[in-house]
Amino acid sequence: MPMTSAYDLLNSALIHYRGQPVGTSASVDPSPAAVNYHECFIRDFVPSALVLLMNGEAHVVRNFLVTVMQLRGQQPVLEGHKRSMGLMPASFRVVREGDEERLQADFGERAIGRVVPVDSAMWWMFLLRAYVITTDDWEWVGSEEVQTCIRQILDLYLRENFEMSPALLVPDGSFMIDRRLDVYGYPLEIQALYYGTLLSAHELLTRVGGTPATLDNLAVRIKALRQYVCVHYWVDRDRLNEIHRFRGEEFGLDVANVLNVYPESIPEWMDGWLDARCGYLVGNQGPGRVDFRFFTQGNLLAILFGLATSGEAQGIMNLFERHWDLLMGEMPVKIAYPAVIGKEWQMVTGSDPKNVPWSYHNGGNWPVLIWPYVGAAMRTGRTDLAEWALQLMKERLHPDNWPEYYDGKRGGLIGRRANFHQTWSATGLIVAHEIFENPANRVLFERFTFQAAASS
Ligand code: GLC
């Protein structure tokens, strides 16, 4: 029974600290691909948290939120630099020394490639909202410690840097795709999470602790970000046609081709990729640069959080339907399409053997993506698509022992270096199953109060 086995995996993944469950390990594979897979990753805990919230175990989520909150700002600081108190770790583990236990966090200083976890504090804010929606524990959200934490996160994420746009500028590998893959700059997943974070903060602070100035500022930033993403990331046939006929080298304030994108940069695979019913948000953009690759998580979160308009959301789901074989294949859901190959693979990944074409982050299929997929399908009324995807997963994931990812254009092979018993492969399926059976649970990641007023 796949669901029973998924729950068993979740239970065996629980990490205890001083007698209390505080998180889940990324995998319970006895011989995982990397030593840190026994740690609790903040992003990996998200579907675990949603399952726990749906099943009356909100206290575990609160323990997790407290733990990560207390670990924030403990990153090593470079000489002469100032500590950012709003930064949260990528992962943490419990170190046992005799009878003593202590927590050890990793802010990327021990991670492969030293990547910074920009997404952690954003997921934390998202889970704080989901927790309080479930429990009504507003007293805790209003407490000094939580209010300080929210303030410090906003200080860091709203801080001026080198802004030319309302989007958030980040280094490579700063989110789920935590290796080099040309995802520095303004990757879509970060922008979608950023939007969700600002909405969550606005909702929380409106109820407790927000000054009018803070709320006004958040509202302005939310609207600006949404407007910007709609203009610069959305591509459908009409927009593609505009880009196809763009003139370059336009100078001044009032120009059409703001980022100076050359039509010659439209990749060949885009020819025929869209029909009149389809569209999507591109993976990244910057000066002279549109990354036309389709990144699934960013598009799905954009639907869930209402960053995509309802028309755009339909267009994205139509794209999944049109390219079912390529984007869903034998095991949903492809993380990014298409893979980078050949010389481009060498340049973009630094010849990373884990990210060879159609594997891992470079076009592999990731079961965890089923929960935002089913959430997005339900939100757009495409229960047919949700059902097909769920059926595929229920047939294979359990007999395959819950792999982390699959390889191949159609995702038919178990990932070459994938862990087995990967927690978020199981919890992702539980969340998807639960929201399919009981759509009211979608409130945990939808229906933001500010969104309702602002959305079009
Ligand atoms: C890999 C994934 C990352 C995940 C981690 C633990 O590094 O890319 O997103 O958090 O494994 O599962």
The verdict on the CB of residue 176 being under 6 Å from ligand 1 is yes
The verdict on the CB of residue 43 being under 6 Å from ligand 1 is yes
The confidence score (pLDDT) of residue 1 equals: 83
Q: Which atom of ligand 1 is nearest to the CA of 112?
A: 7
Spatial separation of the C-alpha atoms in residues 361 and 281, rounded to whole Å: 18
Q: Which residues contact 251 (CB under 8 A, 6 or more apart)?
A: none
The confidence score (pLDDT) of residue 451 equals: 67
Q: Which atom of ligand 1 is nearest to the CA of 404?
A: 12
The confidence score (pLDDT) of residue 29 equals: 87
Where does 92-187 have alpha helices with state H?
Answer: 119-135, 138-141, 144-157
The verdict on the CB of residue 44 being under 6 Å from ligand 1 is yes
Q: Which residues contact 38 (CB under 8 A, 6 or more apart)?
A: 25, 26, 27, 32, 93
The verdict on the CB of residue 106 being under 6 Å from ligand 1 is no
**Ranges of each domain in the chain:** 2-454
- CA-nearest residue for atom 9, ligand 1, is 176
Spatial separation of the C-alpha atoms in residues 296 and 189, rounded to whole Å: 9
Give me 394's structure tokens: 């229920």
Spatial separation of the C-alpha atoms in residues 373 and 379, rounded to whole Å: 10
Ligand 1 centre from 220 Cα, in Å?
Answer: 33
The verdict on the CB of residue 146 being under 6 Å from ligand 1 is no
Ligand 1 centre from 176 Cα, in Å?
Answer: 6
Ligand 1 centre from 144 Cα, in Å?
Answer: 32
The verdict on the CB of residue 175 being under 6 Å from ligand 1 is no
The confidence score (pLDDT) of residue 42 equals: 98
- CA-nearest residue for atom 3, ligand 1, is 176
- Considering only CA atoms, which of 51, 129, 176 is closest in space to residue 428? 51
Q: Scanning the structure block, which residue is given the tokens 């298409």?
A: 338
Query: What are the mean pLDDT values of the chain's consecutive 10-residue runs (456 residues total)?
Result: 95 98 95 86 98 98 98 96 97 96 96 94 98 98 98 97 95 97 98 98 98 97 97 97 96 94 97 97 97 98 97 98 98 98 97 98 98 98 97 96 98 97 98 97 93 51
Ligand 1 centre from 292 Cα, in Å?
Answer: 23
Residues forming beta bridges with residue 20, ordered by sequence position: 17
- Considering only CA atoms, which of 20, 122, 110 is closest in space to residue 62? 20
- CA-nearest residue for atom 2, ligand 1, is 176
Q: Which residues contact 252 (CB under 8 A, 6 or more apart)?
A: none
The confidence score (pLDDT) of residue 237 equals: 98
Q: Element (H or E) spanning 294, and its range? A: strand 294-295
Ligand 1 centre from 170 Cα, in Å?
Answer: 18
Fold of domain 2-454 = Glycosyltransferase (1.50.10)
Give me 180's structure tokens: 């080099």
The verdict on the CB of residue 26 being under 6 Å from ligand 1 is yes
The verdict on the CB of residue 273 being under 6 Å from ligand 1 is no
